[in-house]
Structure 1
Amino acid sequence: ALTRIQEVKADKEPATLASCFSLLSNRFVLLMVLGIFVYVGIEICLSSGVPILLSSHYGIDLKTWGLLGNAFFFIAILTGRFLGSVILSWVKPHSFFRMTVALSVLGLLLIFVDNQVVTLAGVFITGLGFANIFPLIFSITVDSMPERANEISGLMVTAIAGGAFIPPLMGLLADATSVRLGFIVPLAGIAFIALLTMVKPKTQS
């Protein structure tokens, strides 16, 4: 509170709702915002679906997993973010983006293996991979159009609404098939994000 901050008034007009949504005409920005929408949704799919999978397939108590298992997944995310801050000092963001998505795909595929140890390993690996996807999508998009950082930030934050729309899709699929097959939804989501690693920025506004 005592720190002196030199505030500088920007020359450009402040961001508005219209200026934010106008950026969606930029294909790169639109795809990356959808990437955030999908990412948040599939992260919630995992944090809610994994306890049910372990309970139904391996008899692990749901209350125990709720306390410890989600911590297991999010400890992997926390670890991945610490490692990411180090890795990004010598690896380019786009290259690291591809690496972390590949790790997420591997982890999700392991969850489909009908073995408790392999499934748990898949959960942890997925957490490591998921750790840096949100900040990478965010920073890569902002870096492509730094002069529109406010508008991009607004769109990205709005896109976390994916957490309300995608998990019910997983629930519907799981109800129609099985809990394990419900994980096809987050797998499809990470496949979409994998495609984003090959999309090049279009910097024109």
Structure 2
Amino acid sequence: MASSAVIIENQGAESPTSVSQNNQFALISLTTLFFMWGFITCLNDILIPYLKDAFALSYTKAMLVQFCFFGAYFIVSLPAGALVSKIGYKRGIVVGLAVACLGCLLFYPASVMGVYGIFLLALFILASGITILQVSANPFVSALGPSKTASSRLTMTQAFNALGTTVAPFFGAWLIFNGIASGVEQNDNVSSEAVQIPYLMLAASLMVLAVIFSKLTLPDLGRNDQAQISPRKAWKFKHLKLGAVGIFLYVGAEVAIGSFLVSFLHEPTIAGMEEAEAARFIAYYWGGAMVGRFVGAFVMQYIAAGKVLAFNAVMVIVLIALAITCDGAVAMWSIIAVGLFNSIMFPTIFSLAIQDLGDATSNAAGVLCLAIVGGAIVPLLQGVLADMLGVQLAFILPAACYVFIAYYGLSGSKPVAINEKG
């Protein structure tokens, strides 16, 4: 029952990204950012089981990794939206890269001191930088072409985010778990020292990107009178409110599944894998998301984005039900296959939620990034369920999240004008 207002129409000879030649360079440059923050975010899925063993944590305490990382979105998103409105998307990207670089550098003293709390602080600062990047880059991509193909364009760039999440598990498993297996764990500080090289490499990469983006010639967008617009104006749109709930639940469910994937595959009744081997299978989960985003970018040129979103949500519910009720290979591959159908959800919910918002779009982007705090709350709640019911039954929680996402795709994403009181 998606409204015709959200249908992605066939634009004839129009390319999937629907951008002019002048904007193509900007779009290509932005894909590197989507790759990097996907890479960094996915490393948390390796970091969680690693720190859980290193500090002998419960599932609930281990999920504080995601709580601190995604909690930064809640605290930083609105200030980041105000900052970007003043300095523009390009400078916002540079600031975000610099802050993320600082967070990566803090992993070194955290590893030397071997204190879990300092790791959490480093993750919070790193995520603060990623939040600024999100607030800058997502609306930047949406602005680089016609609004009718914004979902397709954002999905295409998000495919490179998924490429980063696909590569990261191999990188993390090789460098982090390989350090544990090498025998250096005989030193009490080794479990923390194993993260030094990966995060120092990330810090160097982020700094190089910050320098490059500071020199690039990109469209001067995002810095205008929107800085004086109250965020309350954006909140008057019903489809934005529901979209924020959708982002909250989707990010929470996606992060929770990825966070528990290693532990799930480690279960004797599922696959009984060692953690280093199971960590590599995260790449299949995120690799499915990458493939799905390239396919989705094409499909949504012809089919209403809301309908595609609802279909994918229903498929995920079915797959999680199989993962909960079955054992062995069926459960294992069902949960991994969720990544394929997760693929288009974030960019689709995001672009549907900001559709037809006019000059409130900049603040709306900040509101939606605020909702990414779901990645802090839902995994933590699933950690509580895992401690109480076991890892397998705990997947009931993300399954419930996708029920609302199916509703949003079918009905809740219909654009509604500002109420008369506004």
Q: Same fold (TM over 0.5)?
A: yes
2:402, 2:218 → 1: CA distance?
A: 43
Corresponding letter in the other structure for 1:40: V
In the alignment, the residues of structure 2 paired with residue 7 and residue 135 of structure 1 have an alpha-carbon distance, to the nearest angstrom, of: 20
Shift in Å, 1:44: 1.1
Structure 1 partner of 2:273: 60
Say which structure, 1 or 2, has more relative contact order (CA 8 Å, 6+ apart). Answer: 1
Alignment-derived partner of residue 69 in structure 1: 281
Q: 1:7 to 1:192 in 2, by over 3 A?
A: closer
Where does structure 2 lack aligned partners over 5 or more consecutive residues? 1-214
Q: Deviations over 1:31-79 (max 9, x none)?
A: 111111111111111011122112123311122111x111110001111
The residue that corresponds to 1:123 in the other structure is: 335
User: Could you tell me how far apart the structure 2 residues matched to 1:109 and 1:40 are?
Assistant: 19
| Code of the aligned partner of 1:60 | M
Q: Supply the distance in 1 between the matched residues of 2:253 and 2:301 (Cα, whole angstroms).
A: 28
Aligned to 2:90: none
Alpha-carbon distance in structure 1 between the residues aligned to 2:265 and 2:216: 50
Asked if 1:78 is matched to 2:290, the reply is: yes
Aligned to 2:392, which of 165, 171, 180?
180
Counterparts in 2 of 1:177 and 1:124: CA distance versus 1, 3 Å: closer
TM-score by length of 2: 0.44
CA distance in 2, matches of 1:156, 1:37: 8
The AA in structure 1 aligned to 2:356 is S
Determine helix, strand or coil for the equivalent of 1:112.
Answer: helix
**Aligned residue number for residue 202 of structure 1:** 416
Partner of 2:248: 37
Choose the corresponding residue for 2:234, options 23, 33, 44: 23
- How far apart, CA to CA, are the structure 2 residues paired with 1:4 and 1:122? 42
Q: Contact 2:226–2:360 (CA<8 Å) still a contact in 1?
A: no
Q: Which has the larger radius of gyration?
A: 2
Q: CA deviation at 1:121?
A: 2.6
Amino acid in the other structure paired with 1:192: F
Amino acid in the other structure paired with 1:65 = A
Label 1:162 to 1:63 Cα distance change in 2 as closer, same or farther (>3 A): same
Cα distance, 1:81 vs structure 2: 0.6
Instruction: Give the SS at the match of 1:143.
Output: coil
Structure 1: gaps (5+ residues): none
* Secondary structure of the corresponding residue to residue 325 of structure 2: coil
Partner SS for 2:302: coil
| Deviation of the 1:117 alpha carbon | 1.8
User: Counterpart of 2:321?
Assistant: 109
Query: Are residue 48 (structure 1) and residue 259 (structure 2) matched?
Result: yes
**What SS does the aligned partner of 1:201 have?**
coil
Instruction: Check conservation: 1:41, 1:163, Cα contact below 8 A.
Output: yes
Matched AA of 1:127 = G
CA contact (8 A) 2:231 2:364 kept: yes
The percentage of counterpart residues that share the same residue type is 26
Tell me the matched-pair count: 201
Amino acid in the other structure paired with 2:253: I
What SS class does the counterpart of residue 185 from structure 1 fall into? helix
More divergent stretch after superposition (102-111 vs 46-55): 102-111
Moved more, 49-58 or 73-82: 49-58
* TM-aligned CA distance change 1:27 to 1:115, over 3 Å: same
For the aligned residue pairs, the C-alpha RMSD in angstroms reads 2.2
Structure 2: how far apart are the matches of 1:7 and 1:97? Answer: 29
